[in-house]
């Protein structure tokens, strides 16, 4: 048996080795056992207050329940054992709250069902968790806006199918990343009213136990907790929580894309960007020269984990009749882990991008690797008015083959072709074959992204 001081966690989310690589202390605290049990008690207390306001239970009883409930004094070992037997934690919690509250204990959990308390408690966790995610997205957008502005005109090779395609700017690339997170911020704002609603509906969702007071109590409970009032019972309508986790799938998917770009661009053969230097970070146990992109690797891993949970939440939407027989339990795994992984990935992204090392000289060097071939399109379009589009295509195609087989530059190959040199002087050829002269509207597109929404200075 392990001693009390020996690490016993079995997942990366709680591991003393990995927990701050895959998550953050703040998000773990929101979804900790203690915080969850506290939320259960908070909902029970709010329910008592709501019912007292509506004349369902005595006001004195509600006041006593609020005063005497003490989560820190609970017997957590007993709570665990009874939860294993019952299958749910609410009845075991109510047993102890009843004892704590004395005569008022008879009114604890009045007219509620287990899922009412658990669902509403989870929504309180979701509200706090989304507030952290929103802060992280806001900060990440600020960082990306700064990169986009700073590198608006920094030329580099744009790549399609992992081949050099046309020149772009690094700011153009980061502006695309920024636009994704602008949309994520919009999505988050839009989903909150749909998701942050309470659940109080009784055993089969009809509030039958409270007679004609049911909807009044439901509204009062939601008001006590600062939550929206549901338009219908959602015991088996799980689209709201599924939306949250699938939103995280989108967020971490974007982070995974950014991570993959950084990892490729940081490879030895590219050498265009690097994650911030921290002594020892990314070091290899056998290769002293290594500088592995650790934050990007963690972001990519998190995106894969959250994607699995997004699928699990979609599967958990398929529930039977008025109360589910198992899909609900799948949410207990998917929701906390998705929040922690998403927070962890955003934390790694903020670190990597806030201190990103951008090697503009290496970008320029890579832009010249193709000896002008990267702007073959520009040359073709420049020649077309003189010799016609199809002939321009054929001339440039032949010149590219010369460069690929015999060496030299595209400008040299074109200048050696009489059909070109007789119509266009060398200075024009050099201008057409200079990659920095064929950035298209990349800088203007950066400006459009930066100006698309209000931004803090």
Q: Where are the beta strands (DSSP E) in 235-284?
A: 273-274
Nearest partner of 253 among 315, 314, 183, 192, judged by Cα: 183
Taking a C-beta distance cutoff of 8 angstroms, is the pair 359, 350 a contact?
A: no
Taking a C-beta distance cutoff of 8 angstroms, is the pair 193, 222 a contact?
A: no
Of the chain, the end-to-end C-alpha distance in Å amounts to 57
Taking a C-beta distance cutoff of 8 angstroms, is the pair 103, 93 a contact?
A: no
DSSP sequence for 56-77: SS-HHHHHHHHHH--GGGS-HH
Q: Residue 61 half-sphere exposure, CB side, CA atoms within 13 Å? A: 21
Taking a C-beta distance cutoff of 8 angstroms, is the pair 448, 176 a contact?
A: no
Classify burial at 369, counting beta carbons within 10 Å of its beta carbon; exposed 0-12, middle 13-18, buried 19 or more.
exposed
User: How far is residue 224's CA from residue 48's CA, in Å, rounded to a whole number?
Assistant: 10
Query: Which pairing describes strands 155-160 and 163-169: parallel, antiparallel, or unpaired?
Result: antiparallel
SS3 355: coil
161 carries an active-site annotation = yes
Please pick, among 284, 329, 421, 452, the residue that the annotation labels catalytic: 284
Nearest partner of 227 among 340, 156, 124, judged by Cα: 124
SS3 162: coil
Please pick, among 72, 161, 232, 285, the residue that the annotation labels catalytic: 161
284 carries an active-site annotation = yes
φ and ψ of 357, to 5 deg = -95, 115
Q: How far is CA 255 from CA 27, 205, 211, 350, in A?
A: 18, 39, 50, 10
Instruction: State the CB neighbour count (10 A cutoff) for residue 290.
Output: 11
Nearest partner of 409 among 418, 399, 419, judged by Cα: 399
User: How far is residue 200's CA from residue 328's CA, in Å, rounded to a whole number?
Assistant: 16
φ and ψ of 157, to 5 deg = -80, 125
Q: Which residues are catalytic?
A: 161, 284
């Amino acid at each position: 048996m392990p001693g009390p001081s020996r690490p016993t966690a079995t997942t990366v989310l709680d591991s003393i080795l990995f927990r701050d690589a895959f998550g953050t202390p703040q998000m773990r605290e929101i979804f900790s056992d203690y915080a969850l049990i506290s939320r259960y008690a908070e909902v029970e207390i709010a329910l008592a207050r709501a019912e007292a306001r509506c004349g369902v239970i005595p006001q004195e009883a509600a006041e006593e329940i609020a005063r005497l409930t003490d989560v820190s004094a609970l017997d957590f070992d007993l709570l665990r054992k009874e939860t294993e037997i019952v299958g749910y934690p609410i009845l075991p919690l109510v047993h102890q709250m009843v004892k704590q509250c004395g005569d008022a204990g008879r009114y604890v959990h009045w007219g509620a069902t287990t899922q009412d308390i658990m669902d509403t408690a989870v929504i309180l966790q979701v509200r706090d968790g989304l507030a952290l995610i929103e802060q992280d997205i806001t900060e990440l957008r600020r960082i990306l806006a700064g990169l986009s502005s700073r590198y608006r005109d920094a030329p580099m090779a744009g790549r399609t199918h992992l081949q050099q395609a046309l020149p772009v700017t690094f700011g153009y690339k980061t502006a695309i990343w920024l636009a994704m997170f602008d949309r994520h911020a919009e999505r988050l704002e839009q989903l909150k009213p749909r998701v942050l609603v309470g659940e109080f509906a009784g055993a089969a969702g009809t509030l039958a136990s409270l007679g004609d007071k049911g909807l009044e109590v439901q509204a009062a409970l939601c008001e006590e907790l600062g939550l929206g009032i549901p338009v219908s019972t959602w015991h088996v309508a799980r689209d709201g929580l599924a939306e949250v986790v699938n939103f995280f799938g989108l967020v971490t998917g974007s982070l995974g894309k950014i991570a993959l770009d950084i990892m490729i661009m940081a490879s030895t053969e590219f050498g265009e960007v690097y994650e911030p230097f921290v002594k020892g970070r990314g070091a290899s146990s056998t290769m002293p020269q290594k500088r592995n992109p650790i934050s990007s690797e963690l972001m990519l891993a998190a995106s894969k984990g959250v994607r699995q949970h997004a699928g699990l939440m979609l599967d958990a939407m398929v529930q039977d009749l008025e109360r589910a027989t198992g899909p609900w339990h799948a949410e207990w795994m998917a929701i906390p882990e998705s929040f922690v992984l998403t927070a962890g990935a955003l934390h790694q992204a903020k670190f990597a991008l806030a201190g990103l090392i951008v090697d503009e000289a290496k970008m320029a060097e890579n832009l010249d690797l193709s000896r002008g071939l990267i702007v073959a399109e520009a040359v073709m379009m420049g020649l077309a008015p003189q010799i016609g589009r199809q002939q321009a295509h054929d001339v440039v195609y032949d010149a590219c083959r010369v460069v690929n087989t015999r060496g030299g530059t595209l400008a040299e190959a074109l200048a050696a072709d009489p059909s070109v040199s007789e119509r266009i002087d060398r200075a024009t050829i050099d201008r057409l074959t200079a990659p920095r002269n064929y950035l298209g509207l990349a800088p203007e597109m950066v400006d459009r992204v930066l100006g698309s929404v209000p931004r803090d200075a």
